[in-house]
């Protein structure tokens, strides 16, 4: 009698977990994305002095990044839908990292502006392409969670960037005495340049790693077994007959005519208007209002972005749990609306903060609440986009990033118009009002209807 254990039938195989490696690669891409995005605002005061530019000119540079970032969303989404993420996103990572590295050689306002416009254009590819990765690699009932994991990478990079940038600048300035730098120390005017070069080189290496390890479709990856392939396909039929995606143009007319899509865009615009303050104007607010030092500004700017990590994890679990119990109509909508209400309350309270740390903690609530709704926003595009998921996410992200593009000028203009020229109270109240309107708009988001009739939308099991 043969006592050997019989082979496990193919149908009883345990699924491999390659899908999570793909999500990890997208997450690490998001870390690089936000490291390069946030560093320039943290070093902004030193950059402005080094180049001899004004606060208003620096605001224009910070806002210009998000203008090209917004305009590049839809083309990037279409390229991802057409060619897949492996080479498209790999090239995008290389190009934005190269632009970041070249900042080290910028000597004029024009050079700084052109390179930040280039960074914005190339970084535009990251999230639409990440959304297509989630749709191709993750079953529908778990897309909110997978989206949250990727977005956590962005917030992690954003949280690390202020502290790391300041410490690297101070280390460059003080050399071997970097571990004993006093709290009120300032960085050399040229110290931001090697930091930009270092970040750029790290990104170029990251682009190579991504291209080496990533595959566009599960069936193209040699480590994916049949059990994992069935798991990924189980909630949604994904074509595997071709390694390419749709060659059709984005359904722009369908997006323009979609009321839920516009409501989703409104939610993203409001979220990014307030969040844009955290990555652009927060250091200036701390200096104007509380006379905080550079090192204090770095640590304080990191806290709201770090709080966003908690919001993303909770938001991903929350919107997926709501969707499984209530269906996609309210599972996405209520998660968005609730997060906007919490942002409204926190922003309205900031003018009453009596200290820099109290204001920072309130803005940490803003960071947490903003990202509490982010997974639902992403999942909405993945639910309704069908094979145009990159385009759908890119379209909404475009309008959302117009919010970040105008954020520095929005806050700067209102503050500059105040009697003292440094009063931020009205700016916070105005941004709070925008988020209150968005909380109402979120109730019009409906993820149960596909963007293009006949295209597959969310098909997870309600109540499962």
CA-to-CA distance for 395 and 128, rounded, in angstroms?
A: 9
Report which secondary-structure segment, H or E, holds 403.
Answer: helix 389-416
pLDDT value at position 281? 82
Reported as half-sphere exposure (CB side, CA atoms, 13 A), residue 336 has a value of 34
Q: Do 439 and 344 touch, CB atoms closer than 8 A?
A: yes
Q: Is 305 in contact with 370 (CB distance < 8 Å)? A: no
Q: Work out the number of other CB atoms within 10 angstroms of the CB of residue 326.
A: 15
Q: Dig out the tokens for 286 from the structure.
A: 């701390």
**Per-residue pLDDT tens over the stretch 31-88:** 999 899 888 888 888 999 999 998 889 888 888 888 898 888 888 888 887 888 999 9
The sign of the CA dihedral 151, 40, 370, 310 is positive
* Residue 460 reports pLDDT greater than 70: no
3-class DSSP assignment, residue 15? coil
**CA separation for the pair 326, 162 (Å, rounded):** 40
User: How buried is residue 378: exposed, middle or buried, by Cβ count under 10 Å (0-12/13-18/19+)?
Assistant: buried
Cα-only R_g, the chain: 22
For the chain, helix, strand, coil in percent to 5 are 80, 0, 20
**pLDDT for 194-248, tens place per residue?**
999 999 999 999 999 999 999 999 999 999 999 888 888 764 444 444 444 555 6
CA separation for the pair 251, 75 (Å, rounded): 12
CATH 1.20.1250.20 for domain 16-235+246-444, yes or no, is yes
pLDDT one-digit tens code per residue, 424-440? 988 889 889 989 999 99
Instruction: List, for residues 84-105, the tens digit of each pLDDT value.
Output: 899 999 999 999 999 999 999 9
**Over 80: is that where the pLDDT of 14 sits?**
yes
Alpha carbon separation from 402 to 73, 203, 262 (Å, rounded): 11, 25, 14
For 352, counting Cβ atoms within 10 Å of its Cβ (0-12 exposed, 13-18 middle, 19+ buried), the class is exposed
For residues 146 and 138, what is the distance between their CA atoms, to the nearest angstrom?
Answer: 7
In whole angstroms, give the CA distance from residue 243 to residue 268: 32
């Amino acid at each position: 009698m043969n006592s050997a254990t019989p082979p496990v039938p193919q149908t009883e195989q345990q699924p491999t977990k390659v899908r999570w490696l793909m999500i990890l690669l997208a997450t690490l891409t998001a870390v690089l994305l936000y490291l390069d995005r946030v560093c320039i605002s943290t070093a902004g005061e030193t950059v402005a002095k080094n180049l001899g530019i004004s606060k208003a000119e620096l605001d224009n540079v910070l806002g210009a990044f998000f203008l090209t970032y917004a305009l590049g969303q839809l083309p990037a989404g279409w390229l991802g839908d057409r060619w897949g993420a492996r080479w498209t996103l790999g090239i995008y990572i290389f190009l934005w990292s190269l632009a970041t590295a070249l900042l080290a050689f910028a000597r004029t306002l024009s050079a700084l502006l052109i390179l930040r416009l280039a960074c914005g254009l190339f970084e535009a590819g990251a999230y639409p392409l990440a959304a297509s990765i989630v749709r191709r690699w993750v079953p529908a009932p778990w897309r909110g969670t997978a989206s949250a994991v990727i977005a956590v990478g962005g917030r992690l990079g954003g949280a690390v960037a202020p502290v790391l940038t300041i410490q690297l600048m101070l280390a460059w300035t003080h050399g071997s005495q970097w571990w004993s730098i006093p709290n009120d120390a300032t960085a050399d005017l040229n110290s931001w340049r090697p930091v930009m070069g270092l970040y750029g080189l790290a990104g170029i290496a990251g682009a190579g790693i991504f291209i080496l390890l990533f595959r566009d479709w599960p069936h193209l990856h040699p480590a994916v077994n049949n059990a994992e392939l069935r798991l990924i396909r189980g909630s949604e039929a994904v074509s595997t007959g071709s390694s390419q995606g749709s060659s059709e143009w984005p359904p722009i007319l369908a997006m323009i005519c979609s009321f839920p899509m516009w409501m989703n865009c409104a939610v993203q615009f409001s979220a990014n208007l307030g969040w844009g303050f955290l990555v652009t104007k927060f250091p200036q607010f701390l200096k104007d209002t509380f006379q905080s030092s550079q090192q204090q500004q770095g640590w304080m700017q990191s806290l709201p972005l770090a709080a966003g990590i908690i919001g993303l994890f909770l938001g991903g679990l929350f919107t997926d749990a709501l969707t499984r119990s209530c269906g996609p109509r309210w599972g996405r909508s209520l998660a968005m609306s609730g997060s906007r209400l919490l942002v409204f309350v926190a922003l309205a309270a900031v003018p009453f903060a009596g200290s820099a740390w109290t204001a920072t903690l309130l803005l940490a609530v803003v960071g947490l609440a903003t990202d509490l709704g982010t997974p639902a926003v992403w999942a909405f595009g993945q639910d309704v986009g069908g094979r145009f998921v990159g385009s759908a996410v890119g379209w909404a992200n475009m309008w959302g990033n117009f919010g970040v593009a105008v954020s520095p000028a929005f806050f700067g203009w209102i503050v500059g118009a105040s009697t003292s020229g440094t009063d931020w109270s009205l700016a916070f109240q105005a941004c709070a009002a925008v988020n209150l309107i968005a909380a109402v708009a979120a109730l019009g988001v409906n993820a149960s209807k596909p963007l293009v009739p006949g295209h597959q939308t969310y098909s997870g099991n309600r109540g499962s």
